[in-house]
């Protein structure tokens, strides 16, 4: 669970403080183990020309990153990973870690996981926590090669997907206002690192994954994109990228 979700503050099952010597190796081992098999892409365009760069999904709560990531991984024939899940396996539950060690330590540990996952040579689909873009180090890494999809969503649909905030204490009282504030604070960071923006409102996970696959094929990310040539999200195909 993400700290954004406000799920609990128990100190049970706490893992060591961040940046122990074994952390990077543990994350790398987890990622390599899950990307060690060869998958057959469901989309034939990627059978002939497999992707050669990581595909990263960013966006606010309720934008569908994890669900879309799994669908997209099947289309591309690569593993789909979620950095929150990796964090849980290495450090224990995020809310407990966040409560005990504080946000700066959490963000540093989160960034370490993102950077390690990106460093593994095999291409993957990587879904990031909603607040991961707060880290300047993470943002720098996202500007240096991955194809980054910012999954945007409107407030009404996000809250519907989140069950109106039920079970998420951070959204208690006024879920809409809190969600709106968090998204507003981070939107410029999402756009700063995004290769393109895809609005998920009104679309199911399969449709969003197919839209991203179309963009990947059109941008020929079978070869690493040159950083100076990265286009602004608003320059992408109007019908597909908004």
* Annotated binding-site ranges: 62-67, 84, 107, 130, 168, 186
The tally of CA atoms less than 13 A away on the side-chain side of residue 79 is 18
Question: Which class does domain 3-235 fall in?
Answer: alpha beta
d(CA 118, CA 221): 16
Q: Where are the domains of the chain?
A: 3-235
* Annotated binding-site ranges for ATP: 62-67, 168
Predicted model pTM: 0.80
SS3 196: strand
Q: What are the phi and psi torsion angles at 151 (to 5°)?
A: -90, 110
Going along 94-175, which residue ranges are E strands?
125-127, 147-152
Strand ranges of the sheet holding 125-127, from the earlier edge strand across to the other edge: 80-82, 125-127, 55-58, 147-152, 196-199
Express each pLDDT in 104-156 by its tens digit: 999 999 999 999 999 988 899 999 999 999 999 999 999 998 999 999 999 99
* Annotated binding-site ranges for Mg(2+): 66
Express each pLDDT in 178-237 by its tens digit: 899 989 999 999 999 999 999 999 999 999 999 999 999 998 654 444 444 444 444 443
* Annotated binding-site ranges for substrate: 84, 107, 130, 186
């Amino acid at each position: 669970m993400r700290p954004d979700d406000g799920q609990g503050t128990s100190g049970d099952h706490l893992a060591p403080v961040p940046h122990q010597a074994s952390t990077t190796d543990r994350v790398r081992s987890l990622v390599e183990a899950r990307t060690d098999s060869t998958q057959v892409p469901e989309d034939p365009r990627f059978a002939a020309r497999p992707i050669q760069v990581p595909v990263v999904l960013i966006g606010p709560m309720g934008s569908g990153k994890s669900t879309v990531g799994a669908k997209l991984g099947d289309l591309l024939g690569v593993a789909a990973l979620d950095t929150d899940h990796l964090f849980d396996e290495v450090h224990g539950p995020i809310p407990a870690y966040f409560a005990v060690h504080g946000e700066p330590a959490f963000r540093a540990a989160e960034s370490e996981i993102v950077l390690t996952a990106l460093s593994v040579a095999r291409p993957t689909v990587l879904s990031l926590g909603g607040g991961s873009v707060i880290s300047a180090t993470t943002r720098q890494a996202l500007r240096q090669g991955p194809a980054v999809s910012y999954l945007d969503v409107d407030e009404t649909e996000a809250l519907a997907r989140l069950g109106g905030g039920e079970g998420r204490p951070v959204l208690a009282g006024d879920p809409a206002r809190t969600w709106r504030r968090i998204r507003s604070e981070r939107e410029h960071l999402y756009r700063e690192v995004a290769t393109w923006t895809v609005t998920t409102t009104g679309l199911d996970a399969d449709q969003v994954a197919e839209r991203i696959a179309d963009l990947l094929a059109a941008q020929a990310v079978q070869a690493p994109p040159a950083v100076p040539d990265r286009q602004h999200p608003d320059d992408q195909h109007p019908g597909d990228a908004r």
